[in-house]
A and B are shown apart, each in its own frame.
Chain A
Amino acid sequence: MRRVAVIGVGQSLYGVRSDVTMQELAWEAVKEALEDAGVTQRDVDISVVGNVGTRGYELMPAQPVNDYIGMTPKGPIRVEMACATGLVALTVGYNLIASGSAEVVLAVGVEKMTEVDTPTSLAVGGRAGNYLWEFHFYGTTMPAGYALYATAHMAKFGTTEEHMALVAVKNHYYGSLNPKAHFQHTVTVEEVLKSRPIAWPIKLLDSSPISDGTAAAILASEDAVRKYKIDTPVWIAGIGYANDTPLLTRRKDYTTFQATRLAAEMAYKKAGIEPRDVEVANVHDAFTIAEIIAYEDLGFVKKGEGPKLIAEGQTYAGGKVAVNIDGGLKAKGHPLGATGLGMIYELTKQLREERSGPRQAPLKKYIALAHNVAGVGPVSYVVVLRR
C-alpha cells in the first residue's frame, strides 16, 4: 500500500444557506481546496462526491455536482453512508491512491438540508437504521435514538444533564471563535438546561443543527506530493471502520457504540499509536451525549469516565486532548455529507498550525483523530492524521 497525504482542504460557511444550490455550495469548498493544494481539476484523476441527499430535489446528485465543479469528464464516484458519508468519501479516495489506481483524488462532501421543513427533516432522519421495525411503528427520530443511549448512560454511570450541557458550552465557545460555524455564539449551562426538550433528556441546545454546508479534501500519493512541491503534507496514518446492527433492539449495550470501539482499535493499530497519543480530535457530537460516549469509546478515558473528563475541562485546547475546537457538529454544524470532510479540513489546519490563540491546539507529536458516525451508531469511521 502506498502512503496518502491530504494536500489541500476547503470548507464553506456552514448554516442556513438558501442563497445557493447544492452545486453552487459544493464549488465553495472545491475551489478553496484546489487553491490550497495549488492544483487544478486537470491534475485530479477522479472525484468522489459524498452526499446523503435524502432531503434534496436532485435525487442523483453526484453528476450535477461533478459537472458544476469542473470535473467533467473525470469521475464521479458517489458515496452515501448517512452522517458518516464524509469520512467514507475520504476512505474511497485513500484506497484509490494507496492501491495505485490514482495519484490525485478530490473528495467533496455537500449537503443542503434546509430546503425542507423540520418535521420532514426529522421524518427523513428517523428512517435511518431500519424504517420498517422502528420508525414505522414508533416514530423514532435521530435525537430519540441518541436519547435512549443518554438515559442508559445516566442510569449506569450517573451521567447528568449538566454533564451533557458542559459539552454544549465548550463547543459553542469554540463555535463563537470560528467564522465558518453555523452557531457563533456562546451558551451557558443554564441556557442549555432551560432550552426546550427535543427527545428528553436531549434538549434543543444539546443538539447539532440542521445545516447546509460543504467540505473538500485533495488527496495525493508521495510522488504527487513531490511533483506539486507540497511543503506541509498531512499524512493519513490509519483508517478504521466497523459496523453494528442498525436495529437498536439487537444491540447489546446502550452505553457504548461497538462500531466506534472496533473502528478506533483498527485505526490505532494501523497508525501504530495509542489513544493517549492523540492531541487534537474531532468527534461525532451530533448530540452532547455522543461526545461523552465518544471519549470512552475512543479510549481517551475508561468506560464511565466521560462525564468526568468534560467536567474537568480536559477536552479544551491545553487539556488532556483538545476535542471539537472548531465547534464540532454541535456548533460548527452538521451538513451530513460534508461533516466528516469538515473534520479533515479542521484537523489539517490544526496539524499545519494555521490556527491562532485558543483555536490552535498545542502539539508535540502532531497526531490528530477524526471520528464520523452514521445514524445512531451502526457505522463508525476513525481516521488518524499525522504531520
Chain B
Amino acid sequence: MSTRKYTKIEGPTIDSVPLIYKHKIPIQKTYKFWEGLKEGKIFATRCKKCGRIYFPPQADCSDDFSSDMEWVELPKFGVLEAFTKVYARPQGFDDVDPYVIGIATLENGVRVMGWVDPPDEKCVKVGNRVELTIRVIKDRHIIYLRDLSCT
C-alpha cells in the first residue's frame, strides 16, 4: 500500500432537526401498468396517432400533442445491453443482498431495466438472452431479467 494522504479537517458538530419525506406518488394515468405487474405482465403505452411506444409508459405523446394512447404488453424475451452488480447499496436497499441491474432490448426494440438473475457478474454477459419475469421484493413488483445462459 502506498502512503495515504487525504483531506479530512474535522471540527465539533451539532445535530440538525431531522426531516422525513414520504411522498404519495400519483399513478392514475399509469394505473394499468401497476395492475399489470401484479398479473406478471409488463405494459407500455402506444400513441394511436403516430405509433410511438413509450416505456416507461406515458399518458401523453409529446411528439404530436396527442393523449390518445393504448396499452400494449411487452414481449417476454430480450438481449442484455449492459449490466452492473451493485455492492454499495443506497439507503432503502441496504437490507438486500448485492444485486445485478441490467438493461435489455426486447424483441420489439423497447428497452427495459431490471434486476438480473442470477446476480453473478462472472456469468452474466452483454449479449446474453434474457427472459422477463416479475417478482415481489419488499412489497414492490420488480422486473427480473433471467439470463438464459447462466441457468
List residues of A whose CB falls within 8 A of some B CB. Answer: 13-20, 57, 115, 118-120, 122-123, 125-126, 130, 132-141, 143-144, 147-152, 154-155, 176, 181-188, 191, 196-202, 209, 247-250, 254, 333
Contacts and interface: CB of A to CB of B under 8 A. Distances in A.
Q: For the complex, would chain A's binding face be called helix, strand, loop or mixed by DSSP majority?
A: mixed
A296 B46 CA distance: 35
Q: What 5 A-B pairs are tightest by C-beta distance, nearest first?
A: A15-B7, A147-B84, A155-B126, A139-B93, A122-B90
Interface string B70-83: 00000000000111
B90 A139 contact: yes
B9 interface: yes
A200 B6 CA distance: 25
**Is the contact region of chain B dominated by helix, strand, or loop, or is it mixed?**
loop
Contacts of A187: 2
A267 B70 CA distance: 41
A144 B86 contact: yes
Contacts of B6: 15, 182-185, 209
A122 B88 contact: yes
B87 A184 contact: no
B84 A181 contact: no
B103 A148 contact: yes
B51 interface: no
A249 B2 contact: no
Contacts of A139: 86, 89-90, 92-93, 96, 99, 101
B24 interface: no
Contacts of A148: 82-84, 101, 103
B113 interface: yes
A185 B56 CA distance: 44
Nearest to B105: A249
Contacts of B87: 196-200
B84 A122 contact: no
Interface in B96-116: 96, 99, 101, 103, 111-115
B4 interface: yes
A250 B55 CA distance: 8
A219 B82 CA distance: 42
A209 B7 CA distance: 11
A62 to B, nearest CB: 19
Interface in B38-91: 55-56, 81-91
B25 interface: yes
Contact of A126 (B81, B82, B90): B90
A247 B103 CA distance: 11
A148 B113 CA distance: 11
A16 B93 contact: no
A119 B142 CA distance: 21
A249 B55 contact: yes
A148 B125 CA distance: 12
Name the interface size band of chain B.
Answer: 35 or more
Contacts of A191: 1-2
Contact of A137 (B1, B5, B25, B113): B113
Contacts of B126: 151-152, 154-155
B8 interface: yes
By CB atoms of chain A within 10 A, which of B4, B56, B91 has the most? B91
Interface string B122-148: 000111000000000000101100000
Contacts of A135: 90
A215 B10 CA distance: 20
A138 B115 contact: yes
A200 B88 contact: no
24 contacts: A15-B8, A16-B9, A19-B11, A135-B90, A137-B140, A138-B113, A138-B114, A141-B88, A143-B88, A144-B84, A147-B84, A148-B82, A149-B82, A151-B82, A155-B127, A181-B7, A183-B7, A185-B2, A185-B3, A186-B2, A187-B2, A199-B88, A247-B56, A250-B111
Contacts of A15: 6-9
Contact of B101 (A118, A120, A144, A155): A144
A264 B143 CA distance: 36
Contacts of A181: 7
Nearest to A250: B111
Contacts of A250: 111
A132 B24 CA distance: 12
Given A152-B126, A254-B103, 16 more contacts: A15-B6, A17-B7, A123-B92, A136-B140, A138-B115, A139-B93, A143-B84, A144-B84, A183-B7, A185-B2, A185-B6, A188-B2, A200-B85, A201-B84, A249-B113, A254-B82
Contacts of B3: 185
B91 A122 contact: yes
Given A13-B7, A181-B7, A202 B16 contact: no
Contacts of A130: 56
Contacts of A119: 89-91, 94
Nearest to B110: A249
